[in-house]
Amino acid sequence: MSLVSQLMATTSTSGLDAKRRFSLGGVAIWVVLALLIIAPVMSFLILAVSPHVFQQGSQWFTLSFVSQAFRGYTGRGIVDSLWVSTLVSVLAVGLATTLAWLIHRTNVLGRRVWSMAMWILLIMPSWMMTLGWTDLLQPFGAAHALGINTRWIYGEFFGPFGIIIVLTTVALPFAYFIVSAGLQGLGPEYEDAARIHGASRARMLRTVLPIIAPALLSAIAISFAETMSDFGVAFTLGYHSHFPLATYTLFSAISTYPANFSVAAVIAVVLILSTIPPIALQSKVMRSRSYAVLSGRTGSVRRREFRRGPRVAATLGVSLFFFIALGVPILGALVGSFVENLGIYSAKGVHFTLTYYQQVLSPSISGKSLGAPLLESNQLGLVVASCTGVLAVVLARRLVASSGGWSQRVTDVFLLGSIAVPGVVLGVGYIFFYNLSFITHNVINIYKTLPLLMLALVASSLPGQTRFMAGPVGQIQPSLNEAARVHGAGRLRAWQTTNLPLMSRILLWGWLLTFTKTISELAIAQILYPPSQEPASVTIQAYLANLQPGTGTAMTVLTLLEMLGVIVIAMFLYRLLTPRGWRRVGWSGVQS
Amino acid sequence: MNFSTQTKGALRSRITAVTLVITVASLSLLNVTAGAAANPGFVLYSAQGYDKASVTAFNATHPGFTVTLNDNSTGPLLQQIQAEGNNPKWGALWVDGATAFAELDLKGMLVKNSVPKVSFNTLGKANIPADGSFTPTGLTVTGALCYDSSQISASQLPNTWEQLAEPQYQGLGMNDPSQSGPTFPLIAGVMDYLGKFKSGSPAKAVAVGKSYFTSLYQNGLTVNATNGPTIGAMEGQQIKMAIIQSSACYAAEINGSFPSMRVKYLNSSIALPGVIGIDAKQPAIVRADAQKFVDWLMTPKGQRAMQTGDPTGDSLYWPVLNGITPANKVIPALSTTHAVTIDPYVWGPLETSINSWFDANIANG
Amino acid sequence: MSLKARERAVGVSLHHLHKDFADKVALEDVNLEIEPGTFLVLLGPSGSGKTTLLRCLAGIERPTSGEITIGGTVVASARAFVPPERRGLAMVFQDYALWPHLNVRKNVAYPLATSSRAKPQRDERVDDLLERVGIAHLAERFPNQLSGGEQQRVALARALAADAGLILFDEPLSNLDADRRDQLRVEIATLTRATGATVVYITHDQSEAFALADRVGVLNQGRLVQIDTPEAIYRSPANAFVARFTGVAGEFPVTVVNERGPVHYEVALPFAPDERIEALALERFEPGDSMCLFVRAAGVSLEVTGSAKGIHGTILDVAFTSRGYEHVVSVGEGATLSKIFAPTRFDRGSRVKVCFDASSCFVMDPTKGK
């Protein structure tokens, strides 16, 4: 516990404490980050210009792969990804802000339901979403089984239009939670002040917007990075629509034998560097603005009371959004799992069946069962989510240390850049680094073991979860902790009694997010899983990619249900084990 | 906000140091357990559907060492091997298609003369390289023309590759070579056949092949990722026929998901061997273990394990040994497939460039 | 003050206290001795270092150099540093710092968690405090259900619960509205004195400081400029800054005319060169020196225009207070005196005679103390 508690202390970067800037806690953090993220990723990226380092070519230095990556198919992929990600992040944040305002600041109906739905949208992996959409819309798909003709939309959907829509729904939840946290700090006095001074609705919005600007920019930055690195949509929709995205071309480059890791490394570098403009923009606007607005003084927010008509309209609007974003793909996958030979024209008409579920629950000899892989995935999820949770808290505190300065910027850039690293790059990088003779003989030999997979999964989730928590963690008024210290609480007790309760909800949801993300994560799992210990995502993918999409879909539905079950249990335990006061405070989790 | 103290700072450093030491020490414990046995066995990197059954059967009858199975798709396996570089962890590789093995052999990564001394049939012999660095364990055929008999009848199908490019044969599909392992051999085989390649530089054959596929593309060729989506497209009536791997067609026909699926062979098709090779960089004892496994695979017991391990999938192969019959009645005689072998040492090195060209111009053009 | 209370009170010493931040010096060579049981108010504008000093006392900030002793124990020095939780303090914050997830009762009970009392006694003490501070009826509420004044009361009760020998106040009234402010100020004054604890209280409000303090320390740009009783500071400000900050009705540039006594000088106003005003001084001046005259409001009285004494002035503004009237008077170009009390009303625009009491006027070098 003591290591944890001292890691939790924010190192001051003020003035003459410069000599303490390089405190042991700070060094330990960067050592951990180096082993988790920096070393493996750099091992991959260095191949962009120096393939000989890991025996991937003869040259110690060359720029030929750089020029190769920017030409032709891969070049198109880069350009496509850049403009799609920009468009998607703006759309996602705009939509997220509207939804956040409607759900938190107005009297729209069903607020608790929408908050919960947004969480589900957050944890659903993008490949599940596209699976659902595809199952639904394909000829003789689930929509057809329900009697709806979708031929007219199929062509539109499998193109940039559909890609942008699905990517927006994938990025939106991240943006939503960040903006919601920002909105919470916006007391009604700002709106009032603007209104009283005669501002029109639009002008008031313009006045209020800069106050939540930090949250908006943070949301845009994260949405951009997440979209650039998304693999699920690129791999399915992107591929089918002949609209290459950078992550797909990256994957393509390493899918032949011999793989072209160098070109892939160049693409990866582009993905990472592309996150710098959003951060620069965010830095420029935020300057030294402090996140800190959450304290005992933050009263309940005032809601805008719509009259009946607008209220119904607003509720319908929100419902429509969730139906399209969440309901449609879930419906597609659910129905698809019950339709016999989904996508096949049959003279007998549509036939619903339980056979795929039967195949999952009692597989044939050569078939793989879901039980053991799912159990393993859950175990992985448990360990990875817990480790990531602890590390994320430590890092988040560092990130929001209000003294600004270069170390905060560096951490910020590092985290966002890491979000942009596609899973497959991290996975292969882990092989490069942890299979080095030097490492296996002198430091640690965990290549091809479960611990290595765990480390890689932690590395994959840590940046996102840290940034996710940075807002709420930063919103805690420092004087709350100071008051505890002054009134007799040691560092640990002060943290436990002041910070922890305020963070409890975000800790819970951060944990659940990483838990579900770990279960559904595919790229890293596929390349690093140890022999005979195949996780569920790999099993499902094998079925989906081969000749048994029905069984694969059934497995997907069951896995999704299992993840939701874990969430329900976790929330129940939270309710059971936490004091009532803890649930009064906190973020826009399920409480709105 | 700074709470550290002089004395507390010193304490903090000591605690951190101790904890780091303990953590590192305990992590390295994970290393200790491996390699303690006298004979560590070897790790088999395999993408074959019957690998689990084969390995289980082998381990049951061969105490003394264990074969550890690293089952995965071909792509990730090859990525792992390539990324492991000079510090390989694989003892043997077992996948469909010889081109990867040719590459490995050219880099000196395979044990030579590892082919068991058994009675191979003609096509089996044709797939054994001169230096004996890899062994064919079974054969499927790619370039089979699978078609949906409910959409198109056998009489409406072409008989030759040349005919296939004619405008009246619409609704053709195939797989993407960058995603589907058996597809590059198909493309190479078509180029080989159309260019009448015998020896020397394949450049002319490549050019002929490229213009052929371009004309297919202009005739409406649809490219999907792998067998699964391609057959799915046929089931969804987006395409009528497809040139894919034979075992996929038979599987669809057998498991009842696509009862109207039929297979026709054009005047030529490409033999796609399932191949196993041994890592030359492993210690002698590991190589010896791997050799025992390879030898066992080419015995009737080994072949039975393969043929029963994935009865609706990979087990539907043609044996390369004399005296072994195919696992399922639905598989016709090998001669009816007009299967020929392409030289992986010639076509293997061209895989990257041809796949890139295909991706840019045919699959995504 | 009870015997127990007298025992509880601790003395505080600051020796050569320095605190630097990256961009500025917050405290420069501050030396201070606080007797046990004293109510010390640190007064200064924002940026003067008073908050930093308080935080150093609390242990939330670590001084760059110097020594802090509380109750005879060295809590901060080059060699040692005692963390806040072991200093035996209590503190009331400007933003109340109430924990939002705990109700009022639990907030107040927090400091008692580490005490040796048994639970029933702890509960009893909490009830007693809630009663004393007048918030017993709010015990089960949560902070976000309380008004600002109520929240600060809870913070006060919490600070008192700790039974600390030293209580720190960080501008506790600045976020409250005026009527609440007076009320709470009185409660702070009485309740803390009843405990007998030493109090260090910081504020930028001069009247608040003078109302509360046994001793006032004036801080300017990190330096402790003057520390004395409120009366002494009011009557003998150490320099122009202190004078200005502790309440002047007006200040004008003047010329020293002649010396009238050991500390008395006669000065002439530029806009009324024939008039003479007598004022106190802390240093020697020469006739002809250009200095500044600082006038306390209490030293100015108004006479009807026909009166013989005083200089001419014009009423700019008048405000009714419960005891009389406060006027703003102009005595010359750009020279105004504000908060001038008179029992009767002089209307806006009327001419008056303005009389100065020498003991409330100070002639000083305006550049000193900047």
Residue whose structure tokens are 């609440």: C180
Q: Binning pLDDT at 50, 70 and 90, where does residue C3 land?
A: low
Burial class (CB in 10 A: 0-12, 13-18, 19+), C250: buried
Whether the Cβ atoms of residue C220 and residue C241 lie closer than 8 Å to each other: yes
CB-based contact (8 Å) between B3 and chain C? yes
- Secondary structure of residue C272 in the 3-state scheme: strand
pLDDT, tens digit, for every residue of C97-128?
999 889 999 999 999 887 777 888 889 999 99
CB-based contact (8 Å) between B12 and chain C? no
Question: In this complex, do B8 and C62 lie within 8 Å of one another by their Cβ atoms?
Answer: no
Task: Please give the Cα distance from B290 to B276 (Å, whole number).
Answer: 10
Whether the Cβ atoms of residue B79 and residue A423 lie closer than 8 Å to each other: no
Give the residue with greater pLDDT, C322 vs B291.
Answer: B291
**In the prediction, which pLDDT does A334 show?**
83
- Secondary structure of residue C33 in the 3-state scheme: strand
CB-based contact (8 Å) between C174 and chain A? no
**In the prediction, which pLDDT does B201 show?**
87
CB-based contact (8 Å) between A288 and chain C? no
Question: Looking at chain B, which subunits does it touch, using at least 3 CB pairs closer than 8 Å as the criterion?
Answer: A, C
C219 DSSP β-pair partners: C224
| For range A330-339, the mean pLDDT | 82
Find the closest chain A residue to C114 by CA distance.
A488
Question: In this complex, do A295 and C97 lie within 8 Å of one another by their Cβ atoms?
Answer: yes
CB-based contact (8 Å) between A450 and chain B? no
Question: In this complex, do A6 and B15 lie within 8 Å of one another by their Cβ atoms?
Answer: yes
Question: In this complex, do A56 and B311 lie within 8 Å of one another by their Cβ atoms?
Answer: no
Question: In this complex, do C80 and B3 lie within 8 Å of one another by their Cβ atoms?
Answer: no
CB-based contact (8 Å) between B8 and chain C? yes
Q: Pick from A10, A449, A485: which is nearest to B30 by CB?
A: A449
Mean per-residue pLDDT over chain A, rounded? 80
pLDDT at A8 over 60: no
Q: Pick from C93, C106, C142: which is nearest to A584 by CB?
A: C142
CB-based contact (8 Å) between B154 and chain C? no
Question: In this complex, do A431 and B238 lie within 8 Å of one another by their Cβ atoms?
Answer: no
Question: In this complex, do C83 and A501 lie within 8 Å of one another by their Cβ atoms?
Answer: no
pLDDT, tens digit, for every residue of A29-74?
888 999 999 999 999 999 999 888 888 888 888 888 898 889 888 8
Whether the ω angle into residue A258 lies within 30 degrees of 0, i.e. cis, is: yes
**In the prediction, which pLDDT does A498 show?**
86
Task: Please give the Cα distance from A399 to A415 (Å, whole number).
Answer: 10
Query: How far is the CA of B270 from the CAs of A370, B95, B123, B185, in angstroms?
Result: 35, 16, 11, 7
- Residue B298 region, left (φ>0) first, then alpha (ψ -120 to 50), else beta? alpha
The neighbour count for residue B155, using CB atoms within 10 Å, is 5
ipTM score? 0.83
**In the prediction, which pLDDT does A364 show?**
62
**Residue stretches of chain B with pLDDT short of 50:** 1-12, 25-26, 28-36
Report for A464-473, A517-526, C30-39: range of highest mean pLDDT: C30-39
A131 DSSP β-pair partners: none
| For range A310-315, the mean pLDDT | 87
Q: Which of C62, C74, C82, C85 to mutate to test the interface with B (most CBs of B within 10 A)?
A: C62
CB-based contact (8 Å) between B86 and chain C? no
| For range C261-287, the mean pLDDT | 80
Go through chain C and tell me how many residues it has: 370
**In the prediction, which pLDDT does C370 show?**
52
Q: Which of A82-91, B192-201, C33-42 has the lowest mean pLDDT?
A: B192-201
Task: Please give the Cα distance from C287 to C113 (Å, whole number).
Answer: 67
Which two tokens mark C333? 């170009």
CB-based contact (8 Å) between C60 and chain A? yes
Give the residue with greater pLDDT, B13 vs C282.
Answer: C282
Task: Please give the Cα distance from C202 to C52 (Å, whole number).
Answer: 10
| Segment 38-77 of chain A within 8 Å of chain B by CB | 54-56, 72-73
Chain A residues with beta carbon closer than 8 angstroms to that of C150: none
Our CA angle for A546, A548, A554, nearest 5°, is: 125
Chain C residues with beta carbon closer than 8 angstroms to that of B3: 59, 83-84
Task: Please give the Cα distance from A548 to A534 (Å, whole number).
Answer: 18
Find the closest chain A residue to B222 by CA distance.
A240
pLDDT at C74 over 70: yes
pLDDT, tens digit, for every residue of A541-582?
887 776 677 788 888 888 888 988 998 899 899 989 888 888
Whether the Cβ atoms of residue B172 and residue B224 lie closer than 8 Å to each other: no
Chain A residues with beta carbon closer than 8 angstroms to that of C25: none
**In the prediction, which pLDDT does B17 show?**
60
Whether the Cβ atoms of residue A461 and residue A524 lie closer than 8 Å to each other: no
Question: Looking at chain A, which subunits does it touch, using at least 3 CB pairs closer than 8 Å as the criterion?
Answer: B, C
Burial class (CB in 10 A: 0-12, 13-18, 19+), A182: buried
Find the closest chain A residue to C170 by CA distance.
A479
Task: Please give the Cα distance from B134 to B121 (Å, whole number).
Answer: 16
Q: Which of A103-112, A401-410, A486-495, B184-193 has the lowest mean pLDDT?
A: A401-410
**In the prediction, which pLDDT does B110 show?**
95
Share of chain A above pLDDT 90, in %: 20
Whether the Cβ atoms of residue C170 and residue C205 lie closer than 8 Å to each other: no
The neighbour count for residue A149, using CB atoms within 10 Å, is 9
**In the prediction, which pLDDT does B238 show?**
79
Chain B residues with beta carbon closer than 8 angstroms to that of C80: 5-7
Interface A:C, Cβ pairs < 8 A: 115
Q: Pick from B34, B99, B237: which is nearest to A139 by CB?
A: B237
Share of chain C above pLDDT 90, in %: 44
Chain B residues with beta carbon closer than 8 angstroms to that of C68: none
Query: How far is the CA of A251 from the CAs of A53, A247, B81, C113, in angstroms?
Result: 21, 6, 16, 58
Pick the closest to residue C364 from C246, C265, C247 (CA basis).
C265
Q: Pick from A56, A261, A526: which is nearest to B72 by CB?
A: A526
Handedness of CA B155, B159, B161, B165 (dihedral sign): negative
From the CA of C249, how many Å to the nearest CA of chain A? 34
C280 DSSP β-pair partners: C264, C362
- Cβ-Cβ contacts under 8 Å for A355 (sequence gap 6 or more): A340, A550
pLDDT at C279 over 90: no
CB-based contact (8 Å) between B7 and chain C? yes
Pick the closest to residue B4 from A309, A215, A21 (CA basis).
A21
Question: In this complex, do A435 and B227 lie within 8 Å of one another by their Cβ atoms?
Answer: no
Q: Binning pLDDT at 50, 70 and 90, where does residue A218 land?
A: confident
Q: Binning pLDDT at 50, 70 and 90, where does residue A447 land?
A: confident
pLDDT at A120 over 80: yes
